[in-house]
Every structure is written in C-alpha cells, then in structure tokens.
Copies of this chain bind each other. A is one copy, B any other.
Amino acid sequence: LALQCGILFMLLVLNHHTGAQTPEQNLAKLGITLPKASQPVANYVNCVRVGNLLFLAGKGPVTPNGTYITGKLGKDLDTARGYEAARLVAIGHIAVLKAELGDLRKVKRIVKVLGLVNCTDQFTAQPKVINGYSDLMVAVFGEKGKHARSAVGTNALPMNIAVEAEVIVEVEE
C-alpha cells in the first residue's frame, strides 16, 4: 500500500509539474458537470466519424435544468448572456465527444467551428458571443482547443435558440 501511495503521489506531482491536466480534470476545476448528450429525434445523428475526423451536429444552448436559452441578440439578450449561451453549446459538444470517445484525452484538436448567432439585423458583436464557445474549448483542451472558426449572424434558429454551433474535431487513431 505504501508503495502504491508513493507511486500515486509521484504521478500526481508529475502531473502537476507538467501541467498536463486532463480535459476531465479541467471540466471539474471549472465546476462543469457534463450533461447526458441529447439524442436527435429525427433521421440524423450527433456525430459521424470519418478516419480521424469527427463531424458533430449543430447544437443549441441547453442549461443545466434542461431548458434552452432562447431569444435574439440585440433585442432579447445582451452579449454577456449570448456568451453564456455559446459556452453552453460548447459544453453540449463536449458531452457528445465524451459519449463518443469515452476519454476526452483522445481529442487531438478542435479543428473548425461554425457559430451562428440568432440576432437582429443591426447586431454586429457575433465574435464576442461565440468567444463563449471558443474560450471554453481552450479552457478544457488547452492548445488543442484552438480552432479555426467563423462567427456569423442569422435571423432565425430552431425553437428561437440564441446560438447554434457545429464543429469538426480531430481525434487520436
């Protein structure tokens, strides 16, 4: 037992020194409990893998109590609330990745994000909203979380959700 504890302690120290937190540890530090990945009700799926690429379906901002954040930026919601919505979309995508991969260390790179902001014609701060998505991905995956992205507006989203995003992810073989 003493030996086992010693080895465990060494591993912990090593882990701390290299800063090599796992994505799951980062989520815990952020106080985030992943929701169960919601299943599409129609003829499509959350995720399709081709080689080492995962293509994830568009997701909306689901709060911990299971409701969506709805409304249009520039009218119903301010940018801070939009940021929060985008962050929830990222959490939903990570839940899909966790269900698909089991271990989030298998994420090699968040590759490409298309973020759509439900907004008025005059709203121009789409990037500040989608930062909620990007910032969380980097907080959880570190450098591997840095992606190419587009942050754009749209006049309407399903169920009037505030934000929707889709993502392509590279995974380990």
Contact = CB atoms under 8 A, between A and B. Distances in A.
A155 B157 contact: no
Interface stretch (A11-19, A31-39, A40-48): A40-48
B154 A153 contact: yes
Interface stretch (A2-10, A21-29, A143-151): A143-151
A146 B44 contact: yes
Contact of A121 (B44, B113, B155, B168): B155
A138 B43 contact: yes
Nearest to A131: B42
A158 B58 contact: no
A58 B126 CA distance: 12
A43 B152 contact: no
A114 interface: yes
Nearest to A50: B170
A169 to B, nearest CB: 10
B44 A148 contact: yes
Contacts of A50: 52-53, 109, 111, 170
